[in-house]
Amino acid sequence: MNIREQTEEIERNILSSTATHACDTAGRQYPEEEDDLRTAFQRDRDRIIHCKSFRRLKRKTQVFLSPEGDHYRTRLTHTLEVDQIARTIARCLRLNEDLTEAISLGHDLGHTPFGHAGERALNDICQEHPLEDGSTAFHHYEQSVRIVERLEKEGRGLNLTAEVRDGILHHTCGEQAHTPEGHIVRMADRIAYINHDIDDSERAGILKESDLPQEVTAVLGHTKSQRIDCLVRSVVRCSGDGIMRMEPQVETAFDKLNDFMYRSVYVNPSAKSEERKVPMVLEKLYEYALDSRNLPEHLQKIAAQDGPRRAAVDYIAGMTDPYAVELFQQVYVPHAWRHM
């Protein structure tokens, strides 16, 4: 046996009967020779970590637009927190940790600049200007799959396994993933963002710990660590047969916390005042990107194959916050004339 085959044998011996085994993968878009060191899911994880889209997450908004301060979350730190929570749950339930990690690390690759404000703006653009494939909506989870299938590596994609792509596609809403590892990431994503958004909101002066509903903190705890620990332990205690669950009282408190955060932060005028500028910026960048000559070379090829509107949306969705602002200023803001 080579090392990969030994690892696959270990998976068969120690993982739960409901776990997804790497040796049973449904395969990749394009057949590849197996690696002698890494399983299929380990290779997927590595490909995601080393791709350009993953690196750009460090300069994309999580909740607060381009915050000044070293300790606010970005889309990258959010992804790492999701990964940590998801791996802990997977290990405790004896599910496939490598598959869980690959889905976690790839789940937000398609997120836009300026967070969900950017996603809403691109969705409005797609509704007003349907894409060549008939799409009239933009969702970051679909864009994440498009990145790994079509856009990364200069248009060649990452050629990930079906299980990783499925988990990425179903990590946030609608139909559940077809693997228990995908279910874990969906749960871990929510656990991570609600709790770290509370932490960032306190840092920003939007919230105080004492503002959280008492009936929530009485069940989940009074600190970020206590709440995450409570939620993870509840999932581990209650989950089985590949289905992720929490105790009813914990799930009810968690839902109330989500509702509180929506009212207090996610639509808070103080926290979201700058977001009103996002649609105009992205609309103007879309107009600019419709001229395929303004696109990077690999996206010019996408424009020729998939259409200029599709390529323009791909270009904008891949931008970081500062890149989008810099390009907008470069194209649309007059520059002072300097005598040479």
CATH code at 213? 1.10.3210.10
In a domain, residue 140? The reply is yes
**Looking at residue 340, what is its pLDDT?**
64
DSSP label at residue 161: B
Q: Torsion over CA of 301, 305, 306 and 309, rounded to 10 degrees? A: 50
In a domain, residue 294? The reply is no
In a domain, residue 45? The reply is yes
- Distance CA(23)–CA(33), nearest Å, equals 13
Structural domain containing residue 121: 34-274
In a domain, residue 165? The reply is yes
Closest by Cα among 126, 131, 136, 151 to 279: 126
**Looking at residue 66, what is its pLDDT?**
67
Record the tokens describing residue 217, joined without a space. Answer: 């903190």
Beta bridge partners of 28: 161
- Distance CA(107)–CA(142), nearest Å, equals 10
Q: Which amino acid is at 202?
A: E
Residue with tokens 């590596």: 153
In a domain, residue 39? The reply is yes
Residues in the chain: 340
- Distance CA(220)–CA(262), nearest Å, equals 18
In a domain, residue 139? The reply is yes
- Distance CA(214)–CA(288), nearest Å, equals 50
Beta bridge partners of 243: 240
Q: Are 114 and 292 in contact (CB under 8 A)?
A: no
**Environment class of residue 173 by beta-carbon count within 10 Å: exposed (0-12), middle (13-18) or buried (19+)?**
exposed
Chain-centroid distance, C-alpha 5: 31
Q: Which amino acid is at 108?
A: D
Contacts within 8 Å (CB) and 24+ apart, 33-40: 34/4, 35/4, 36/2, 36/3, 36/4, 37/2, 37/3, 37/4, 38/4, 38/7, 39/4, 39/7, 39/8, 39/11, 39/98, 40/161
Q: Are 28 and 44 in contact (CB under 8 A)?
A: no
Q: Is the dihedral of CA 190, 257, 194, 233 positive or negative?
A: negative
In a domain, residue 182? The reply is yes
Domain count across the chain:
1
In a domain, residue 285? The reply is no
Q: Are 185 and 86 in contact (CB under 8 A)?
A: yes
Instruction: Give, for all 340 residues of the chain, the pLDDT tens digit.
Output: 999 999 999 999 999 999 999 999 999 999 999 999 999 999 999 999 999 999 999 999 887 776 667 888 999 999 999 999 999 999 999 999 999 999 999 999 999 999 999 999 999 999 999 999 999 999 999 999 999 999 999 999 999 999 999 999 999 988 999 999 999 999 999 999 999 999 999 998 999 989 999 999 999 999 999 999 999 999 999 998 889 999 999 999 999 999 999 999 988 877 677 889 999 999 999 999 999 999 999 999 999 999 999 999 999 999 999 999 999 999 999 987 777 6
